[in-house]
């Protein structure tokens, strides 16, 4: 048990020395902490989710409107003046 604690302490000290020698502190900070791009991507994902829900609601509304609307009417074109006169 004492050996495990001693090894753990020695390893933490060694890792800290390696980090300072090779300047890994900045890299570790960049990887572990949030930066501007992480924050921007979270915001983009939030807005994308909102727009996705909004589009789904609009598609449902369009489906209801299509179901409730009357069928499309076909007209016969007048041969003389090319205007739509009568329904088929």
pLDDT tier at 88, thresholds 50, 70, 90: low
Q: How high is the pLDDT of residue 87? A: 58
pLDDT of residue 22: 82
pLDDT (tens digit per residue) in 74-83: 777 777 776 6
Measured CA to CA, the distance from residue 35 to residue 28 in angstroms comes to 12
Helices (H), 1-88: 2-22, 24-32, 36-68
Round to whole Å and give the CA distance between 70 and 87.
15
pLDDT in tens, 19-59: 888 888 788 888 889 989 999 999 999 999 999 999 999 99
Give the contacts of 75 (CB within 8 A, at least 6 positions apart).
84, 85, 86, 87, 88
Contact assessment for residue 57 and residue 67, using Cβ atoms and an 8 Å cutoff: no
Provide the residue count of the chain.
Answer: 88
């Amino acid at each position: 048990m004492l050996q495990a604690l001693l090894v753990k302490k020695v390893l933490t000290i060694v890792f800290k020395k390696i980090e300072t020698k090779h300047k890994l502190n900045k890299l570790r900070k960049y990887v572990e902490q949030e930066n501007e791009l992480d924050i921007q991507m979270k915001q983009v994902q939030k807005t994308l989710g909102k727009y996705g829900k909004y589009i789904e609601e609009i598609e449902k509304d369009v489906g209801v409107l299509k179901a409730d609307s009357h069928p499309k009417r076909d007209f016969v074109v007048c041969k003389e003046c090319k205007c739509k006169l009568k329904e088929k």
